[in-house]
């Protein structure tokens, strides 16, 4: 198992809401950019999407907002592949400022043929890449994976 590279960015002025903190929508935007980077690393970048006519589509996501952050903050998103199948990818994103985890996102995505709109198996080179980066043991997945919203 190899680690996926971290995604890094800085909180931009237009990401700040009326409370003076990063708006919830922009946490999701940053997680989306991290997912794009994962796709590139796994061999599903822009050239692949154009040639294969296939891409990952998010079908479910669970975001936890754990701490506020503000303008100019450096963000780092680390990602683990915690599950995969012939047509699906299960990701765990953790967003940090320094060492503090400020948000997490659990994401389930399907590999979709964009012409038919139906899920389709990953090609072998992509499956091989997923295998190289996938979390090896079930115990390595973060403890927040699979949680549900509770009141």
pLDDT of residue 146: 87
Report pLDDT digits (tens) over 23-69: 999 999 999 999 999 999 999 999 999 999 999 999 999 999 999 99
Could you give the C-alpha distances from 70 to 3, 84, 138, in angstroms and in order?
Answer: 28, 34, 35
pLDDT of residue 150: 77
Position 140 pLDDT exceeds 90: no
Cβ atoms of 109 and 35 within 8 Å: the answer is: yes
Report pLDDT digits (tens) over 88-130: 999 999 999 999 999 999 999 999 999 999 999 999 999 999 9
Position 1 pLDDT exceeds 70: no
Partnered with residue 60 across adjacent β-strands are 108
The rounded distance, in Å, linking the Cα atoms of 80 and 67 is 21
The model's pTM: 0.93
> Mean per-residue pLDDT for 125-151?
82
The rounded distance, in Å, linking the Cα atoms of 98 and 116 is 43
Backbone angles phi, psi at 131, to 5 degrees: -60, -40
pLDDT of residue 136: 59
Which residues neighbour 33 within 8 Å (Cβ) at sequence distance 6 or greater? 7, 9, 77
The rounded distance, in Å, linking the Cα atoms of 86 and 101 is 31
Structure token digits, residue 46: 């822009």
Following DSSP, what letter does each residue of 34-67 receive, concatenated? HHHHHHHHHT-SHHHHHHH-EEEEEEEEEEEE-S
The rounded distance, in Å, linking the Cα atoms of 31 and 53 is 23
Domain ranges in the chain? 7-135
Q: Which of 23, 38, 33, 26 is nearest to 91 (CA)?
A: 38
pLDDT of residue 64: 96
Name the fold adopted by 7-135.
Thiol Ester Dehydrase; Chain A (3.10.129)
pLDDT of residue 145: 92
């Amino acid at each position: 198992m190899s680690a996926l590279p971290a995604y890094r960015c800085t909180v931009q002025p237009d990401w700040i809401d009326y409370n003076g903190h990063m708006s919830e929508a922009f946490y999701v935007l940053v997680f989306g950019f991290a997912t794009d980077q994962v796709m590139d690393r796994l061999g599903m970048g822009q050239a692949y999407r154009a040639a294969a006519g296939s891409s990952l589509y998010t079908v479910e996501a669970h975001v936890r907002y754990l701490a506020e952050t503000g303008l100019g903050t450096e963000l780092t998103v680390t990602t683990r592949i915690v599950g995969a199948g012939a047509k699906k990818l299960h990701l765990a994103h953790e967003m940090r400022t320094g060492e503090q985890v400020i948000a997490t996102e659990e994401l389930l995505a399907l590999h979709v043929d964009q012409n038919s709109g139906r899920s389709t198996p990953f090609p072998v080179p992509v499956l091989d890449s997923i295998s190289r980066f996938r979390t090896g043991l079930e115990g390595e997945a973060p403890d927040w994976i699979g949680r549900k919203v509770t009141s």
